Amino acid sequence: MKTQLSFSLLVLSLVLSLFLSSGMAAQAGSGAPGRSAPLTLAALEAMALQHNPTLGEAQALVRASAGQVHQAGLWPNPMVGYAANRLRGGYVRGGDQGVFLQQSIPLGGKLAAARATAQASQARAETEAMAQRATVLTAVRLAYYHSLAAQERVQVEAQLAKLAADAATTTHQLGNVGQADQPDELQAEVEAGQAQLRQQQAQQEREQAWQALAAVVGEPELPLQTLAGSLSQDLPVLQPAAYLQQLLTRSPAVQVAEIERRQAEARLHQQKRQVVPDLFLRAGIAQDRELSDFSRKPSGLQGSAEIGVQVPLFNRNQGNIASAGAELERATLDLDRVRLQLRAQAAPWLAGYAMAQQSVHQYRESLLPKAERAWRLYQASYQNMGAAYPQVLIAQRTWFQLQSDYLRQLEAVWVDASALQGFLATDGLTLLSSPTGVGTRPSAGVSGQGGVQ
């Protein structure tokens, strides 16, 4: 009996020791058939740059704005026509018939103002295209770290489920030799069942995270594969003060708001130029068949010319100028609003990042080592008949839970840091069309996948 008990304890100790030696940085998940190497973040980013449809949309908008710039610089087309005057019927000669050429010449720099407005729109489209590229890459990183964390949780939960099942088996063996009571056996079975449920939930979370990752890279049918990388290595480090300065100057939201203000300035200048009237020119040549009073012969070819301008007496474009001025004022105030909004939206991300970093440090330096030591002490005490077996199970359960919590805090560090480094533009499947396209951090728990735009 004593030999069987010692053997069971030895098996349990060996299994748990193997788990400890595996470490939290072990790579998880089963790779797809036919792929030998794990899928890297760089490879996923390359896929997204090639297949994410929002990038093609952004480039199409750039080309459309370039066409508008070209169109805005073109002169109005001339008019060619037929003209006839003093036409008479019957046998009496008279009248003149001919052709004319008419052209409007824009004055006051109208074409240059229109071109400047179109160029401002083109600059905005180009800025949004660059911002969209950065947003897609940020979204890929977020989805990658969510998926990598889910992958590592699958491995951890699988190992924990196996340990819990082994512990239940050992408890039954101890019960057979009178070293464990029936409540101990039932509790061990419950622990094993819960561990199995957590393993199934981790697998479902991994599949869900993978679907989100496949969508943002633009390949929804991408098969589930092993991801390269480790959450516990080379954690990102951010300095809040320096980051806020960059956020308020380099973020896509601020850049788009600044471009919008320049657009409003260009539109106001264009509306002011509309007050200057265009020059009207018209020239023609006609065959005059009217008989001369002296020679009694047709007058022959005659030319004509007209020149004029429209007098801005009643309509001086004052309504459009006032509207453009108000739009410029709104765009200027909106730039201030965007900066304030970014400060407010960055606050929970920065707080979440700082808290997750602190938690990771505490787990590494204190909680996990203490939990491991407590489990080992209880195990040694139990082997020396100084502690009850339920205490060993409780210590084991605590250690299991800390492993899972530690992974979630690592995920939070990476996700929050990636979102902050991407200036909170996190929705890789929505085209950036306004200066408010930033992600919103969930109020509790790990950051959600993909911000609101």
Kindly state whether residue 449 falls inside one of the protein's structural domains.
no
Indicate whether 297 belongs to any domain. no
Greater confidence (377 vs 322) lies with 322
pTM of the model: 0.79
What is the per-residue pLDDT for 441?
Answer: 61
Whether residue 98 lies inside any domain: the answer is no
pLDDT value at residue 34: 42
Residue among 246, 261, 323 nearest 124 (CA) = 261
- pLDDT score for 435: 40
pLDDT in the model for residue 447: 41
* C-alpha span between 417 and 124 (Å, rounded): 27
Q: Which region among 61-70, 85-94, 182-191 has the lowest average model confidence (pLDDT)?
A: 85-94
Q: Is the pLDDT of residue 327 over 80?
A: yes
pLDDT over 90, % of the chain = 58
Is 443 part of any domain? no
Q: Report pLDDT for 345.
A: 93
Domain that holds residue 138: 2-72+110-273+339-421
| Residue 57 within any structural domain of the chain | yes
- Comparing 25 with 325, the larger pLDDT belongs to 325
Give the confidence band of 361 by pLDDT, cuts at 50, 70, 90: very high
Q: What's the CATH number where 360 sits?
A: 1.20.1600.10
Is the backbone of residue 24 left (phi > 0), alpha (psi -120 to 50) or beta?
A: alpha
Give the pLDDT band (50/70/90) at residue 439. low
Section 379-387 average pLDDT: 77
d(CA 328, CA 435): 16
Q: Is residue 450 a part of any domain in this protein? A: no
pLDDT of residue 36: 56
Q: In this model, does residue 40 exceed pLDDT 60? A: yes
Number of domains in the chain: 1
Would 392 be classed as within a structural domain?
Answer: yes
Q: Compute the C-alpha angle 447/451/453, nearest 5°.
A: 165
Per-residue pLDDT for 440 more than 80? no
Residue 96: predicted pLDDT: 79
Query: For position 195, what pLDDT does the model report?
Result: 87
pLDDT in tens, 4-27: 334 344 334 434 443 444 443 343
Residue range 243-300, pLDDT digits in tens: 999 999 999 899 999 999 999 999 999 999 999 999 999 999 988 777 666 666 777 7
Report pLDDT digits (tens) over 110-167: 999 999 999 999 999 999 999 999 999 999 999 999 999 999 999 888 888 888 888 7
Return the higher-pLDDT residue of 190 and 9.
190
Average pLDDT, stretch 414-440? Answer: 78
Q: What is the pLDDT of residue 236?
A: 92
Print burial letters for 319-349: b (CB count within 10 Å at least 16), e (below 16).
Answer: ebbeebeebbeebeebbeebbebbeebbebb
pLDDT digits (tens, 9 = 90+) for 91-117: 456 677 899 999 999 999 999 999 999
Closest CA to 76 of 100, 116, 103: 103
Mean pLDDT, the chain, whole residue set: 83
390 lies in a domain? yes
> What confidence score (pLDDT) does residue 97 get?
85
